[in-house]
Each structure stands twice: as structure tokens, then as C-alpha cells.
Chains A and B, each alone.
Chain A
Amino acid sequence: MRLIVPLQGVVQGRGGLILGSIIPGALYYFFQLYLKRCRSAKPNSNPPSPSSSSAQLADLSRSSSRSNLSSRGSVGPVRVSARANSIAKPNASPYYIGLEMASEDPYDRFDNPDGIMQLGLSENRLSLDLIETWILENLERSMIGGADGHLNISGIATYQPLDGMMEMKIAVAGFMSQVMGTTVSFDPSRLVLTSGATPAIETLCFCLADQGNAFLVPTPYYPGFDRDMKWRTGVELIPVHCRSSDNFALSVTALDQAFNQARKRGQKVRGILISNPSNPIGNMLNKETLYSLLDFAREKNIHIISDEIFAGSTYGSEEFVSMAEILESEDFDKNRVHIIYGLSKDLSLPGFRVGVIYSFNTSVLAAAKKLARFSSVSAPTQRILISMLSDTRFIQRYIETTRERIKKMYVAFAAGLKQLGIECTKSSAGLYCWADMSGLIRPYNEKGELELWDKLLKIGKINITPGSACHCIEPGWFRCCFTMLAEEDIPVVIKRIQRVVET
């Protein structure tokens, strides 16, 4: 259907030309529209019998591919939703491509020494041995054993509160406090448990924003946010660029600018999403920054979501300061602050699927509690973790040991990169470092960065995450996760990078 727009006549302002071109144009337009409506409204007069379905099938297949091209699911025969079509497509982001390739050909020192080394997944494997020992010694008793040794499955088999058992909330609240240095305590009744931090953040988005609303997110940020916060909620993310000149520190001026620009575009900003400790940088926000953020949020009447999932994975000299700690000591409007947490990083248990929404806002908690039905934590897993997290002596030993091991790896890895002339930003937390390879890319832009990434993946057999996947505005930065490696693997990594860089 062609749209005839007699612009010329209108622009030149000649009435005759306007009428002479618009009227036939309009008539033609409406005639086309009428024809189209007739075609699509024509009902199937007879339901096809099974034997005549092949002809039907041919017709239907053609229109099926047509609807895959357009994003309107309601034109032609009923298909799947536009959302499904877009999500089902293979993900083009190097973050996901790299993860997939590395998982298909994983490096193993003995079994597959030519495989791809995985430095693109922020997973902590350094202290699994401690947890493994605990599990071997305590598991069966903790999962279903009764006091008299008699097995009792009803405690894990039956329906449990869908936002988590109270004992689990108490245990997790205690763990959060322990892991953040016991400078702050968490109230179990303000927790909603979800099957991982991924649904936690999506659920929070559903509670705080309507479709089309936006969140300000400092860059570079975790690539998963694009999926978690946007896919099904219809929410937008507005990047607020941070630069290496400030060590990628967050500036309230930049937030303010981004907020005003959004307002000019007619976009309603509902909140700010920060990750603290930051992923992918690895730095922590200090008290002053947190205070300024709260002031900014209050001034604009928006929410703050603080993703603190790496809070326990610190190795520098600075102490981690949670949003909760700030709010405890100051008289701020607590209703606008929400914390995301989980056991995937600090406790190295991503497979067990435990995420946390912590909020001071009772309405948000009430809504999140109900939405938690779509992402509940498995009861047998809760039982084990209640036992483990309540063993505070073990947890203390685990936290201290993990920190030491992360620090050791960080120092060794950063030193290795330095040998190649690659500097990392000063970081004190997280399971990765933020490496500056801008001197190694040619040309100095995203294309050059992706070329280097590609070479490192396919030739060097190393998967690291390029800054563009994290929306970094400066090309050449890469996130390298080092906690999936053993210490002996570091020289191998360095050598492989060297090989690629020198060709």
C-alpha cells in the first residue's frame, strides 16, 4: 500500500495544486485501506479437514515467515508473540557469543589444554572446596533429617511461602550482615527471596516502573541488565556515561544531565540503578557519593536500586558501605531505596538460585511478595542453606578465606597484565578487573575493540568481555574475570594474550 504525499503542492502553498493532488491521493489511499481490510477480514468459511491440510499448510507457512519479519503478531494467521520472536533470535552481543563459545570448548589443564579459557563469566570457583567439605559433612542431616534421625520430607515437599521460608530469610539476613562487615543489620521481614538475582531485578522493575518508563544506569554496566530489566517489562535503560579520566566515578552532574534530557524527550525516569561494588569496574561507592545519590533521588522524586551482589567479594583496604548502612544512620526517605543481593557470587552458588530483594518500602514488598510466585526458591535448597548460613563460624572462615584468595589472584593477574603494558583501573572488589587495552586496538573505536575481542576469542582462545557490551563510551576496555582460574592458569592466559597482541 503506497502512501501518496503531495508535499510539493502543500509546500508551495498553491491551493489548486493542493486540492488537485491531495484529493485523488486521499481517495487512492482510502481505497487501498478498504481493500486491505476486506482481505484480512475474510473468514475461513469451512474448517479444513485433516486430509486437506497440506494445501492449507503451504499457505500458512508463507504467512508465518511474513509475520516473523514484521513485528505485528496480529496480521495474518495467529503466530507467537512479537516478544517471543525477538527473544528467540540468537543474541548478537559479544558477551553472550563469547560465553557460548567458551562453554562449548572449555579449557581444561589436562583434558583440553587447547580449549577456550573462560574469563567472561564472573563466577567464583576459588573457595568451592570449603563449601564442598561443609556439604559432605552436613548435607543429609540438614536437608531432611529430623531430630530423632527419622527422615521427614514434609518440611521440603509441601507448599512453602512463595517469597521464601522465614527461617531462610533470617539466615540470609544474617549472612548479608556478616558479609558486609556487621556494620549494618538486615531485617528478615524486609526480604523477598527469588530464584536468583536475575528475577529479583526484573520483579523490582515491574513494581517500580510502567512500560515505557526509564532507569538511569551509569556505564559501563553489567550486560545482563539489558535483558533482565527490559525484555518483559518494557522499561528503558538510559546510560549515564562515566569516564576513565575520573576513574569511571559516578557524577551527579552527569545524572542530572541525563535526567533533564530524558524529560525533554518526554521519557519518565523512575529511578537510578547502581551496582555497588561496580560490575564491571570493581570499584566501590564511598559514603559521600551515596549521600549525593540519595539527595538527587529525593530532589527528583525517584527510586534507587542498589545491586550489591558483590558486597562480600572485596579484597582492597576500603570497607564496603551498603545503602542500608547509610539509611540506618541518617534520616532519609527510606521508601525510595531497594537493594538487590544473591548468593551466586559471595557464596559461589549460582546453581542453587537464591536472590534477594531488600526494601524499606512496604508497598513494594507487598507487590514483590506476590510476584515472587513466578520465581520461588526450591525448598530442599532452602533447607540446606538455612543450615549452612546459620553455621556462622564456618561462614566467617569462608568469607575471610575467599577474600584472601581473591586478593591473591587479583594481584597476580593484574601484575601479569602489567607485564604486557596493560593497566587495570584501581579496584577493590568483584571477581574481575577492568583492563585498558586501548593501546592495542586499531582503529581506536568500537570496531577495533571488537576485532581484538574476536582475535582473542578465536585465535588466543580466551573469552573476555569487551567494554562495548557493557556500554562503555571509551573503546578498548575489557572485563577479565579471574576467579574461574587456578593460579597456575594465569601465566597461560598472559602468554595467550601476548601471542595475539604481538601478531
Chain B
Amino acid sequence: MLSRKARLDAHGEDSSYFLGWKEYEKNAYDDVQNPTGIIQMGLAENQLSFDLLESWLASNQDAARLTRNGESVFRELALFQDYHGLPDFKNELVEFMAEIRGNKVNFDPRKLVLMAGATSANETLTFCIAESGDAFLLPTPYYPGFDRDLKWRTGVEIVPIHCSSSNGFKVTKCALEEAYQQAHKLSLNVKGVLITNPSNPLGTTMGRDELNDLIGFAVAKKIHIISDEIYSGTVFDHPSFISIMEALMDRKLQDTDLWSRVHIVYSLSKDLGLPGFRVGMIYSNNETVVSAATKMSSFGLISSQTQYLLSKILSDKKFTRNYMKENRKRLKTRRDMIVAALRDAGIGCLKSNAGLFCWVDMRHLLSSNTFDAEMELWKKILREAGLNISPGASCHCSEPGWFRICFANMSEDTLNLSMQRIKALVGRIQQCRRGRVTHQDSGCNSRRRSFSKWVLNLCSYDREPDR
């Protein structure tokens, strides 16, 4: 009775990503009501700077009350459903986006299409660029949500570009070419490459060389580049962020065909910490894409009230500059906290400079170098340490043992508690290993490695080369 899509969808929620969520919902941590509950570290949400927004709202009653200079703007907002978006809001957005990129790039509001969240923006862009049965290449590891957002209703496939820890998961020319050939083997027509820059789940930004390799590849294969830059405002450390537009302009490619095949997806969910507002957008130099996406945005328009409120917030440049600066500072502090605490527990992280999470190396804690062992470890962390984190397999990482841990959606105390729990668990696992030489223990596995060798491995890994 239902469509094929609906029948497929109904059985889609058995991956680990969702299992963790379900367990968390049943037994959510609360510092007072449920101190032994599960701490949510699988949600990339930024709750660190709500106080700044609250104080702005308190001193700018006009915006919240939908008045302008004392006059009500309610009527125009109540009736405003133009899919071209509120002009004031778009003008502020392009300035905000330019500022994040150090004003090295300028954006035209006529090329901006508003959607209800980056989720909607990514799907709409896919509808505009690809036919059902076409493919996008995505570097792994990637955000698990892409498997839904890019594929479900569009019928488009994802072919992974395998990245490895040997070079810090950077995208190489070789990996790009391999992925392209793989797509051909599967008889899939490659329409584009989708990168997330800064990367989710890695928390790193793409370097100039990496971007240039990607550009060269897109020119050679005559395909699109979609750059999901929703974390661009969370870059809190060196190296600085280079947008795909900046890279193209530096190579003077504005008048080439590639210019109209490059599209940016952006959102205010991460940079301003407002995922509940549902604000996403597509920026494209391609007229057909802008025109088609604008009309398709009818299926996900942003509430006019929200557009108005945000246009007011963004027009206060002093506030936004201060907010971004302070927010980045707080993110960096958090990141440093978690990295130090993990190191203390003998766990290393990929050196990151952006995002709301760390890409954590727990390969040494696996009973074997397999994804089954990764799942086993993930379940232990969920059930014994009471932490919901994201296993690398859910992000399509090609190497087992990596996990994404979010650090910006909780208080400092909760973060400290989570680190204590991890340390305790790691201690238990290693004790288990030390003690299993002579007898079988139900909680440990049988693979032998000496404790000292592990410690040595960790020490050499921790010494990351300076960028």
C-alpha cells in the first residue's frame, strides 16, 4: 500500500548511529535527576554561547516583538511567503558569510537561495544537479546524515573517496581518481564531488593544495563541486579557513566553466548555534540552479518571523563580530580540555582546528583491527561508560577504531564527568588485557599485545607534527 521509498524508510533505523540515540532517550543524563544516565556526545550542537544571544535579545526588544522603530511589521511578515526570501535577511547573510571568510570573497544575495536547514539545502542541490542513478563522490569519513539527505528521495548514489590516517585523512589525487574509477565500475555517472569544509567528523579545514587538487579534478572530469561550509564560522585555530570560492578566485577561474559548477551550502545551525531555527541556504554561480532551487524552496521555506529576527541580529555587526570571536575562543578552550583529558586516558585525537567535535583514535583499544571490534568497543562505551559517541563505521571511515566525540553541547562539568568515565573505562579495558594472559575473562578478548608496547605507540602518536 505504501511507496517503495516509504517501505525502505520504515526499516532504516537499525544502524548504530540511531541505536545510541534510542538508548540515550531512554536514559538521558541529568546532573540532578539522573547523574548516572547516558551523556550525549553524538550531537554536533553548539550550546556554548547562548548567553550572548540572550543578552542581545534582552536589549533588543524590537526584534523579538516584530516591531521596527516601534511600528509593527507583523502584517507584512504574516503574509510574506515569497520564495526569493526576505531581502534584508539575504543582504545581511551575504555580508556575514563574507566576514567569516575574512572578506576575501564577496557574495551576491541574488545567488543565495534560502531553505529550511542545510538538510533541505543539500537535498535540493542534489535534485538540481543530478538525475536518479547518478553519483556524488564524497571523501570518507563523512557526516552519516548524507546517506539520507543526498540519496533518499533523489535516487542519487554516494561513492566514497577513501582517506586514510596515514596522511591525516587528507584527500589525495590518487584517492579521487580511484573513486571515479570505482563509480565507473558500478556504471554510475559521476556528477560531482561533495566536500565538507571544515570537515565533519574530522574537525579539520582543507589546505590550499588539497583544494587545488580537487579543482583540477573537477575541471578534468567536468563535474560539479559542492562545498558544505556549515562549520566555516567555527574555525578556532590555525590554519585559517579557505573557502572553495577563494581557492577558485586565487586561481583566476571566475570566467571559466567550472565557476558555474561550484556551489556552497551554508547554515546558521552550527556557527550561530541555532539549529532549531531551521536556516540553511545554497549559494551558486549557476543561474539554472539558482532558479530551480528557488522554486523548489517552496517545499522548505523559512518562517518569515525567523528571517526577520535573524536579519536584525546579523545587522548588529558589532554583536556578530564579538559573538564569533568569543564563540571561537570558547570552542578552542573546550577542544583543548577534551584533547588533554583524552591524552591523560592514553587516547589521541586528530589535530583539529574547527568544528564542534574531535576525531578520536581508539584503535589501540580494539580487540582486533576490525569493524566488529569497533562496534564492540562502541557498545562498551555506551553501556559501561554511559557515553553516546559516533563510531567511525557510521561515518564510512575505512579504518576501524576512530570515533567522533562532540564537546560543545554540554556544560563543562558534564564534559569533565564524561572524560572521567572514559578514563575509568580505558583503565578497566587495559587491566582486563593485562590479566587475561593465563585465563579467559568474559569481559575481555583474546588478542595479545603488551601494555608497554601500547603506551609507546600512544606516545609516538601524540607527538603530532606542528602544522
Contacts and interface: CB of A to CB of B under 8 A. Distances in A.
A263 interface: no
Contact of B57 (A56, A64, A144): A144
B191 A378 contact: no
B211 to A, nearest CB: 14
Interface string A38-54: 00000010011010011
Interface string B290-313: 011101101111111110010000
Given A195-B301, A363-B10, A381-B305, 5 more contacts: A88-B287, A128-B74, A139-B64, A373-B120, A376-B117
A448 interface: no
A353 interface: yes
A493 B406 CA distance: 61
Nearest to A351: B304
A494 B223 CA distance: 56
B222 interface: yes
Contact of B303 (A228, A336, A353): A353
A351 B292 contact: no
Given A50-B256, A370-B12, A378 B286 contact: no
Contacts of B116: 195, 353, 374-376, 378
Nearest to A90: B291
- 3 cross-chain pairs, A with B, having the tightest CB-CB distances, nearest first: A379-B276, A351-B304, A47-B220
A332 to B, nearest CB: 15
Interface of B: 1-7, 9-10, 12, 43, 45, 47, 50, 53-54, 57-58, 61, 64-66, 72, 74-75, 77-82, 116-117, 119-120, 123, 127-131, 134, 148-149, 152-153, 189-192, 216, 219-224, 251-253, 255-257, 261, 273-279, 286-289, 291-293, 295-296, 298-306, 309
Interface of A: 44, 47-48, 50, 53-54, 56-57, 60-61, 64, 73-74, 77-78, 80-85, 87-88, 103, 123, 125, 128, 131-132, 135-136, 139-140, 143-144, 151-154, 156-160, 195-196, 198-199, 202, 206-210, 213, 227-228, 231-232, 270, 301, 303, 335-336, 344, 348-353, 361, 363-364, 366-367, 370-371, 373-381, 384
B286 A377 contact: no
A47 B219 contact: yes
Given A143-B64, A352-B305, A84 B292 contact: yes
A384 B66 CA distance: 12
Contacts of B64: 139-140, 143-144
A207 B148 contact: no
A151 B64 CA distance: 11
Given A139-B65, A366-B10, A378-B305, A78 B257 contact: no
A377 to B, nearest CB: 7
A159 B275 contact: yes
Given A78-B223, A85-B288, A351 B129 contact: no
Contact of A87 (B75, B261, B296, B301): B296
Contacts of B273: 157
B252 A50 contact: yes
A159 B118 CA distance: 13
A374 B305 contact: no
A208 B120 contact: no
Nearest to A383: B276
8 contacts: A53-B256, A83-B292, A156-B277, A351-B304, A373-B119, A374-B300, A379-B277, A384-B305
A50 B81 contact: no
A225 to B, nearest CB: 13
A213 B1 CA distance: 12
A151 B72 contact: no
Contacts of A73: 131
Contacts of B149: 373-374
Contacts of B189: 74
A85 B288 CA distance: 6
A375 B9 contact: no
A208 B306 contact: no
A367 B5 contact: yes
A237 to B, nearest CB: 16
Contact of B50 (A139, A153, A353): A153
B289 A84 contact: yes
B299 A351 contact: no
Given A374-B299, A375-B116, A367 B6 contact: yes
A293 B255 CA distance: 59
A282 B183 CA distance: 53
A270 B65 CA distance: 46
Given A78-B223, A125-B79, A207-B3, A56 B257 contact: yes
Nearest to A86: B292
Contact of B78 (A144, A207, A350, A370): A350
Contact of B74 (A135, A213, A374): A135
Nearest to B86: A351
A85 B286 CA distance: 11
Contacts of A152: 54
A80 B54 contact: no
Contact of A209 (B3, B130, B286): B3
B299 A367 contact: no
B2 A208 contact: yes
Contacts of B123: 374
A157 B274 contact: yes
Contacts of A336: 1
A140 B72 CA distance: 13
Contact of B309 (A78, A87, A303, A380): A380
B299 A136 contact: no
Contact of A80 (B57, B79, B129): B129
Nearest to A384: B305
Contact of B276 (A81, A87, A160, A375): A160
Contact of B299 (A60, A74, A199, A363): A199
A371 B78 contact: no
Contacts of B256: 50, 53, 56-57
A140 B61 contact: yes
Contact of A232 (B47, B61, B253, B296): B296
